[in-house]
Structure 1
Amino acid sequence: MVWVFAGSLSLPVAAQGVLLYRYVNAEGVKVIHHTIPPEYAQNGYEVLNSQGDVVEVVQPSLTDTELAALQQKRELEAWDKDLLKRYSTVADVKAAKRRRLGEINTNIAILRGNILNLDSQIAREQRRAADSERQGIQVPESILINIKNFRGEKAAAERQIEERRDEYRQAEDKFDKDIDRFTFILERREQARTSY
């Protein structure tokens, strides 16, 4: 009874039609089978019904080169979209570049001013230390701590200036690329417009 029941469950599946796979094997021969080996699945295949009709086509997997090209295409499309959203003309991009580089230069100028101030504070503390030594007394610990702290702050400000200079170079390079790309986009649009 159980076997009959189990057999009757499989009848509707057979009535619907068994799906087959058509793929090309390593010898270049088309094979039709009820399963497809994994090593052939990545090359693409067709799914057939019991009448031999193609019900689905599975495309081959992309190669590493094709995947890299697709990724590059998507990145360019995203870049183009971003540029077109932010700018109307090449002059807009150049103005944004000037503003950004100006901001970085202002930041560098502030840091340089801080360094000059720290140099003055260091010199003042060193004079105080020298005065103590000339009087034959031990330099107060607070003066030594101040000198150490001011030198640490100066070193940190100098590092920040180097970071801002790197940021300047990176921003300049990025905006130059944006200008070149935006110019290309506008030229491509103009060519498309005039070709109609």
Structure 2
Amino acid sequence: MKVVLHAKPSGRCRSALPVLSLLLGVGLCAGVAAEELFYKYDNADSITVIDDHIPPEFVHKGYVVLNRAGRVIEVVPRALTEAEMRANGPEIQARLRGEEAERQQRYDQKLLARYSSVADIEDMKRRRSGEIQVRINLQKGNIAGFKAQLEKEQGEAAELEMSGQPVPEKISAHIEELRAAIAEEEARIARLEADKSTIEARYQFDIERFRMIRPDVR
């Protein structure tokens, strides 16, 4: 469930972490924490959103990790620009690498606490992906129903036109409503497909990481 809070000026945060650290941040919204934590971030329109995951394209802007009670668990700053990376001296780079290592350690601990094997993660990945596929199939069913109605209405309109009669405004309006409904359902499917791909990528991140830190467990 997504909650949109408010518009926010698009000013840039001063604090930052390396890009690699932010890539790890994508993992923080993976299966290891997806059901317990929420993420507050700004979308492409600078609207603040709270959701149970972060689209990868917004991770670099930074985000806040919240628990179910709304308490702040972690604040992840935006990624450094290339110019900022070049401007940082060795001491700052060393500090950032240390912070990155700490984040990696915390993430690994959560991963191992939540899953006992790769099979567990794969099962969760299939379940979450399957849940979204059910919703996609439902939207496709809606589209099929709307298209059947549209075909019927268009057929009636065509018969009236062929007989030289005007098409009632009610039929014309219904045709436009059905077209709009189909377009809306298709847009929902596109969003669900994108969510499904994101979720699968997040769980795959967990799978690969688990294999790396526990190569002895399948």
Which band: TM-score by shorter chain? 0.5 to 0.7
- Measure, in 1, the Cα distance between the counterparts of 2:92 and 2:144: 55
- What does the per-residue CA deviation read over 1:54-79, in whole Å, with 9 as the maximum and x for residues that have no partner? xxxxxxx9843224323322331232
Q: Structure 2: give runs of 5+ residues left out of the alignment.
A: 1-88
Q: Secondary structure at the match of 2:167?
A: coil
Q: How many residues align?
A: 129
Instruction: Answer 1 or 2: higher relative contact order, Cα 8 Å, separation at least 6.
Output: 2
The DSSP-based 3-state class of the residue aligned with 1:178 is helix
Aligned with residue 126 of structure 2, among 73, 85, 98:
98
Provide the residue aligned with 1:132 in structure 2. Answer: 160
Report the Cα distance in structure 2 between the residues aligned to 1:63 and 1:125, rounded to whole angstroms: 71
In proportion to residue count, which structure has more helix? 1
1:86-125 aligned within 5 A: 86-125=114-153
Structure 1 residues 146, 63: CA separation in 2 closer, same or farther (over 3 Å shift)? farther
Tell me how large the CA RMSD over aligned residues is: 2.2
1:144 to 125, 150, 172: 172
AA aligned opposite 2:188:
Q
The reply on whether 1:69 has 2:97 as its aligned counterpart is yes
2:212 partner letter: F
Tell me which protein shows more strand as a share of its residues: 2
User: Larger C-alpha radius of gyration, 1 or 2?
Assistant: 1
Q: Classify 1:163/1:71 alpha carbon distance in 2 versus 1 (closer, same or farther; 3 Å).
A: farther
What TM-score does the superposition give when structure 2 sets the normalisation length? 0.53
CA drift of 1:134 comes to 2.9
Give a deviation string over 1:99-144, Cα, whole Å, max 9, x none. 1111122221111111111110111111121232233222111111
Give, in whole Å, the separation in 2 of the partners of 1:142 and 1:80. Answer: 61
The unaligned stretches of length 5 or more in structure 1 are 1-60, 191-196
Equivalent-residue separation in structure 2 for 1:140 and 1:68 (angstroms): 69
